[in-house]
Amino acid sequence: MLPLGERGQAFFTDEVYESKSVVYDRLSLYQQKDFRIGFSFIDNPDITGPNPVKPTYFEGTDIIRTNGGGMEYYIMEIARIRLIGDAVPLGP
């Protein structure tokens, strides 16, 4: 199952990244991720996107924390997924 985040949205991308720092920056993540995994939906959820990821800023400043620019999709329902292959470790 693809769990929902704190705002009831589960985000994902169809872009393939090889680097922790690049995926962190392009998808404006809150922390770096160590792995990527492919999946497909078993159900037919209502998918929103693609939308360009916006940059994020350090709180209370106009200093950019992450640049964004990647593409994201999201769903607002719990969905069953089928994993494709194994988790792939991301480089630095």
Q: Give the H or E element holding residue 12.
A: strand 10-12
Question: Residue 9 has what pLDDT?
Answer: 87
Q: Which pairs from 57-63 meet CB under 8 Å and 24+ separation?
A: none
The model's pLDDT over 29-66, given as tens digits with 9 standing for 90+, comes to: 988 999 999 999 998 999 999 999 999 999 888 888 99
Q: Is the pLDDT of residue 15 over 70?
A: yes
pTM over cut 0.95: no
Question: Residue 61 has what pLDDT?
Answer: 87
